[in-house]
Chains A and B, each alone.
Chain A
Amino acid sequence: MHTMWKGSISFGLVNIPIKMFAATEDRDVHFRFLHKKCKSPIKNERVCPSCNEKITPEDIVRGYEYEPGQFVIIKDEDIEAVKPRSAKTIEILDFVRLSEIDPIYFEKSYYLSPQETGDSKAYNLLRAAMKDTGRIAIARITIRDKQSLAALRVLDNVLVLETIFFPDEVRPVSQIPGIPEDSATDQRELEMAKQLIENLTSEFQPEKYVDTYREALLEMIHRKVEGEEIVSAPEAPQRNVIDLMAALQASLDKAQELRREAKASASGKGKARGNPFDNFSGNAEDIPSRMPKELKDAVWLKPVLTAWVNFLEWTSDGNLRHPKILGFTDLSPHEATGAEFIE
Chain B
Amino acid sequence: MNKVVKLMSKTEVINIEGKKIKLSNPEKLLWPEAGIRKIDYLARMIELAPYIIPHAKNRLLTTIRYPDGIHGESFFSKNLPEYAPKWISRDVWNDTEYALLDSVSTLAWFVNMAALEFHTSFNTSDRDEYPTCLVFDLDPSEGQTFDDVIEVSLLVKEILDSLAITSYIKTSGASGMQIYIPTGGKYHYNDARKVNEFFGSYFARKYPNKITIERMVNKRGTRLYFDYLQMWQGKTITMVYSPRAKEKATVSMPVTWNEVKRGIKPEDFTLNNAMDRLKKVGDLFEPLLSVKTAEKSLDDVFRKVLAE
Q: Do A and B bind each other?
A: yes
Residue numbers of A with Cβ under 8 A of B are: 2, 57-58, 61, 75-77, 80, 88, 236, 239, 241-242, 244-245, 247-249, 251-252, 256, 310, 312-313, 321-322
Chain A interface main SS type? helix
Give me 15 A-to-B residue pairs in the complex whose CB atoms sit less than 8 angstroms apart, sorted by A's number: A57-B94, A57-B233, A58-B94, A58-B128, A77-B79, A80-B79, A249-B162, A251-B300, A252-B163, A252-B164, A252-B297, A256-B164, A310-B258, A312-B256, A313-B166
Q: How far does the Cβ of B85 sit from chain A's closest Cβ, in whole Å?
A: 19
The verdict on B143 contacting chain A, using a C-beta distance below 8 Å, is no
- Cα separation A188 to B52 with both chains bound (whole Å): 87
The verdict on B35 contacting chain A, using a C-beta distance below 8 Å, is no
Known A-B contacts A252-B297, A322-B282; the reply to A245 vs B159 at CB < 8 A is yes
Task: Decide: B304 and A76 in contact? CB cutoff 8 A.
Answer: no
- Given A241-B198, A248-B163, 9 more A-B residue pairs with CB atoms under 8 Å apart are A2-B217, A80-B79, A88-B73, A236-B308, A242-B202, A244-B304, A245-B206, A248-B300, A252-B300
Q: Which residues of A contact B1 (CB under 8 A)?
A: none
Task: Decide: B163 and A313 in contact? CB cutoff 8 A.
Answer: no
Q: Which residues of B contact A75 (CB under 8 A)?
A: 95
Counting from the closest, the 5 A-B pairs by CB-CB distance are: A241-B202, A239-B308, A241-B201, A76-B95, A245-B202
Q: Which residues of B contact A242 (CB under 8 A)?
A: 202, 205-206
Q: How far does the Cβ of B80 sit from chain A's closest Cβ, in whole Å?
A: 11
Q: Which residues of A contact B21 (CB under 8 A)?
A: none
The winner among A57, A88, A242, A252 for most chain B CB atoms within 10 A is: A252
Task: Return the chain A residue nearest B198 by Cβ.
Answer: A241
Q: Which residues of A contact B233 (CB under 8 A)?
A: 57
Q: Which residues of A contact B163 (CB under 8 A)?
A: 248-249, 252
- Cα separation A111 to B219 with both chains bound (whole Å): 22
- Cα separation A61 to B198 with both chains bound (whole Å): 33
- Cα separation A245 to B204 with both chains bound (whole Å): 13
The winner among A58, A80, A256 for most chain B CB atoms within 10 A is: A58
- Cα separation A252 to B163 with both chains bound (whole Å): 6
Task: Return the chain B residue nearest A78 by Cβ.
Answer: B95
The winner among B94, B198, B308 for most chain A CB atoms within 10 A is: B308
Q: Which residues of A contact B128 (CB under 8 A)?
A: 58
- Cα separation A77 to B205 with both chains bound (whole Å): 44
Known A-B contacts A88-B73, A310-B258; the reply to A248 vs B205 at CB < 8 A is no
Q: Which residues of A contact B281 (CB under 8 A)?
A: 322
- Cα separation A57 to B190 with both chains bound (whole Å): 13
The verdict on B273 contacting chain A, using a C-beta distance below 8 Å, is no
Known A-B contacts A251-B300, A252-B163; the reply to A312 vs B206 at CB < 8 A is no
Q: How far does the Cβ of B225 sit from chain A's closest Cβ, in whole Å?
A: 15
A-contact bits for B29-58, CB 8 A (1 contact / 0 none): 000000000000000000000000000000
Task: Return the chain A residue nearest B206 by Cβ.
Answer: A242
- Cα separation A239 to B282 with both chains bound (whole Å): 42
Task: Decide: B287 and A241 in contact? CB cutoff 8 A.
Answer: no
Q: Which residues of B contact A61 (CB under 8 A)?
A: 95
- Cα separation A251 to B79 with both chains bound (whole Å): 47
The verdict on B4 contacting chain A, using a C-beta distance below 8 Å, is no
Q: Which residues of A contact B164 (CB under 8 A)?
A: 252, 256
The verdict on B264 contacting chain A, using a C-beta distance below 8 Å, is no
Q: How far does the Cβ of A85 sit from chain B's closest Cβ, in whole Å?
A: 12
Task: Return the chain A residue nearest B305 by Cβ.
Answer: A244
The verdict on B301 contacting chain A, using a C-beta distance below 8 Å, is yes
Choice from A251, A256, A312 contacting B284 with Cβ under 8 Å: A312
Task: Return the chain A residue nearest B282 by Cβ.
Answer: A322
Task: Decide: A241 and B205 in contact? CB cutoff 8 A.
Answer: yes
Task: Decide: A77 and B95 in contact? CB cutoff 8 A.
Answer: yes
The verdict on B230 contacting chain A, using a C-beta distance below 8 Å, is no
Interface residues of B in 194-209 (CB under 8 A from A): 198, 201-202, 205-206
The verdict on B96 contacting chain A, using a C-beta distance below 8 Å, is yes
- Cα separation A252 to B297 with both chains bound (whole Å): 8
- Cα separation A108 to B93 with both chains bound (whole Å): 36
Choice from B93, B95, B234, B301 contacting A248 with Cβ under 8 Å: B301
- Cα separation A30 to B198 with both chains bound (whole Å): 27
Choice from A2, A244, A252, A256 contacting B308 with Cβ under 8 Å: A244
Q: Which residues of B contact A251 (CB under 8 A)?
A: 300, 304
Q: Which residues of A contact B201 (CB under 8 A)?
A: 241
Q: How far does the Cβ of B187 sit from chain A's closest Cβ, in whole Å?
A: 16
Task: Decide: A313 and B287 in contact? CB cutoff 8 A.
Answer: yes
Q: How far does the Cβ of A168 sit from chain B's closest Cβ, in whole Å?
A: 31
The winner among A2, A241, A247, A312 for most chain B CB atoms within 10 A is: A241
Q: How far does the Cβ of B10 sit from chain A's closest Cβ, in whole Å?
A: 34
Q: Which residues of A contact B217 (CB under 8 A)?
A: 2
Task: Decide: B96 and A244 in contact? CB cutoff 8 A.
Answer: no
Task: Return the chain B residue nearest A249 by Cβ.
Answer: B162
Task: Return the chain A residue nearest B159 by Cβ.
Answer: A245
- Cα separation A52 to B164 with both chains bound (whole Å): 43
A-contact bits for B280-308, CB 8 A (1 contact / 0 none): 01101001000000000100110011001
- Cα separation A107 to B170 with both chains bound (whole Å): 46
Task: Decide: A248 and B304 in contact? CB cutoff 8 A.
Answer: yes
- Cα separation A75 to B97 with both chains bound (whole Å): 13
Q: Which residues of A contact B202 (CB under 8 A)?
A: 241-242, 244-245
Q: Which residues of A contact B198 (CB under 8 A)?
A: 239, 241, 244
Task: Decide: A76 and B205 in contact? CB cutoff 8 A.
Answer: no
